[in-house]
Amino acid sequence: MKIPGPHSKALGLRLRAREQRNVTFLADDFPIFWDSARGAIVTDVDGNDYIDCTAAFGVASLGHGNPRVAFAVADQAQRLMHGMGDVHPTEIRVRLLDRLAAILPDTLTKAFLATSGSEAIEAALKTAMLFTGKSRFASYRGGYHGLSFGALAVSGLERFRTPFAGVLRHEPVLLEYPRSTANADEAASRAREQLQPTDDIAALVVEPIQGRGGCIVPPPGYLQHVATICRELNIVLIVDEIFTGFARTGTWFASEYEGIVPDIICIGKAMGSGVPISAAVGRANVMDAWPPSTGEALHTSTFLGNPLGCAAALATLDEMELLALPARAARLGERLGARLEALRAHSIVRDVRGRGMLWGVELRDAGAAFAAVKNALTRGVIVAQSGQHGSVIAISPPLVIEDRQLERAIAVLESSIGAVA
Ligand SMILES: Cc1ncc(COP(=O)(O)O)c(C=O)c1O
């Protein structure tokens, strides 16, 4: 397929003139402009169809344009598009909070709703400071939690922090994120050695599988050790499930698979199927570190608990339950993983890792990964480049992807990697 087509190219020129130039990478052969999408299929402005193996940053887990979600959002838009965040709340916000409490572990009962993933992280970090009276954070090399200042304060990706280091005065205690083949006990001992000597750490933030860091899966049992260490050192454990949550890795939440219950869980992305909504949900005693409101919230935002986001999230949860998406992700993920493992036969493939419907194929270098991503695009498959150094191809399709679409996508990926090799 010859892409980008003329309409994408023309839009590229207009975007170049108007958008801050750091936002979108624009080249002769990249990107395509999306026009519409349904299920796992995206159609660009030139009428070309693609199989989306990114779920658009992990948001479209339920597939693009789910009709029930679209209807619920449209219906809510007719009734009430916006409430008053921290002053006059809405009925639908209460319903969503009840619903979240019902699918999360019993102890995670009190939530702070927000719009983006970064905002959920900000709320969790502030909560940990209030709860512990401490003000430093620990996190992981390669970890990604968003790009607002609070989220940057725990970022483990140097390139995002460096230009803004002037504001980020406190470096986080950065731990090594162990790979699945590492010894969990030894990795946990090293984490303890780094955390124990300082008594000023309010929270440790961790992704149960590092997404943007290159789809890195920790060894079994490691996160249980980490939970124990946090408990012993009075460190609030914040598990960032913004990417891994809502069935992505084969269970409702990845921490469930790991057998841990965090003090605070951060969720977003797939929660609203594309309508921005996120949350930090924690144990009641931790969340109650915030004083009762006396009329002015210490942390809030205009769009807190926005009714359209709530309607989208409620319909998303209904659909996910109806379609038994965690089990579907686990089943499809077994097959996807087995097929991706076979890619190791190519000499440029360094590693294949993942769980459920979140996988990474690490290539020789970033150049090879981007070449494979672009090659797959010309063959009608959208995958993303990822990893600390950009050398990973990330595969995170909608969980409703049809068997034959998944087969086709894997075949294309294989031949694209072959072409680059
Ligand atoms: C694990 C994780 N946390 C936080 C974020 C930030 O979310 P947002 O981009 O909605 O601020 C992301 C986004 O990719 C993410 O993958």
Domain ranges of the chain: 6-62+324-420, 67-322
Name the residue of 113, 144, 271 to mutate for ligand 1: max ligand atoms within 8 A of Cβ. Answer: 144
Q: Which residue has the tokens 């990249």?
A: 30
Q: What is the pLDDT of residue 213?
A: 97
Name the residue of 115, 118, 139 to mutate for ligand 1: max ligand atoms within 8 A of Cβ. Answer: 118
pLDDT per position as a tens digit, 22-37: 999 999 999 999 999 9
Name the residue of 149, 240, 269 to mutate for ligand 1: max ligand atoms within 8 A of Cβ. Answer: 269
Q: What is the pLDDT of residue 257?
A: 97
Residues in contact with ligand 1 (CB, 6 Å cut-off): 57, 116-118, 144-146, 207, 211-212, 240, 242-243, 268
pLDDT category, 243, cuts 50, 70, 90?
A: very high
CA of 389 to the centre of ligand 1 (A): 18
- What does the alpha-carbon distance between residue 61 and residue 244 come to, in Å, rounded to a whole number? 10
Specify the ligand 1 atom closest to the Cα of 244.
Answer: 1
* Helix, strand, coil shares, percent, the chain, to 5: 40, 20, 40
Is the pLDDT reported for residue 51 higher than 90? Answer: yes
Name the residue of 61, 145, 264, 266 to mutate for ligand 1: max ligand atoms within 8 A of Cβ. Answer: 145
pLDDT category, 386, cuts 50, 70, 90?
A: very high
Which sign, positive or negative, has the C-alpha torsion 192, 193, 194, 195? positive
Q: Look at strands 201-206 and 136-140 and give their pairing.
A: parallel
Residue 116's SS3 state is coil
Specify the ligand 1 atom closest to the Cα of 148.
Answer: 11
Residue 17 in tokens: 């003139």
Nearest by Cα to 274 from 45, 75, 64, 40: 64
Cβ neighbours for 406, distance < 8 A, ≥ 6 positions apart:
332, 335, 336, 397
Q: What is the pLDDT of residue 330?
A: 98
Is the pLDDT reported for residue 256 higher than 90? Answer: yes
Is the pLDDT reported for residue 394 higher than 90? Answer: yes
Residue 257 in tokens: 């698979």
Q: What is the pLDDT of residue 253?
A: 98
CA of 145 to the centre of ligand 1 (A): 5
Specify the ligand 1 atom closest to the Cα of 241.
Answer: 1
Query: Are 263 and 205 within 8 A, CB to CB?
Result: no
Q: What is the pLDDT of residue 63?
A: 98
- What does the alpha-carbon distance between residue 348 and residue 339 come to, in Å, rounded to a whole number? 17
CATH of domain 6-62+324-420: 3.90.1150.10
Specify the ligand 1 atom closest to the Cα of 121.
Answer: 4
pLDDT category, 170, cuts 50, 70, 90?
A: confident
CA of 274 to the centre of ligand 1 (A): 13
What is the Cα Rg of the chain in Å? 21
CA of 58 to the centre of ligand 1 (A): 10
Cβ neighbours for 189, distance < 8 A, ≥ 6 positions apart:
none
Q: What is the pLDDT of residue 204?
A: 98
Q: What mean pLDDT is predicted for residues 141-163?
A: 96
- What does the alpha-carbon distance between residue 235 and residue 184 come to, in Å, rounded to a whole number? 20
Q: Give whole-number Cα distances, 415 to 51, 373, 420, in Å.
A: 15, 11, 9
Query: Phi/psi at 44 (nearest 5 deg)?
Result: -90, 175
| pTM score over 0.85 | yes
Is the pLDDT reported for residue 1 higher than 90? Answer: no
Nearest by Cα to 103 from 323, 311, 256: 256
Which sign, positive or negative, has the C-alpha torsion 194, 196, 201, 207? positive
pLDDT category, 85, cuts 50, 70, 90?
A: confident
* Topology adopted by domain 67-322: Aspartate Aminotransferase; domain 2 (3.40.640)
For ligand 1, atom 3, the nearest C-alpha belongs to 145
- What does the alpha-carbon distance between residue 183 and residue 221 come to, in Å, rounded to a whole number? 9
CA of 358 to the centre of ligand 1 (A): 15
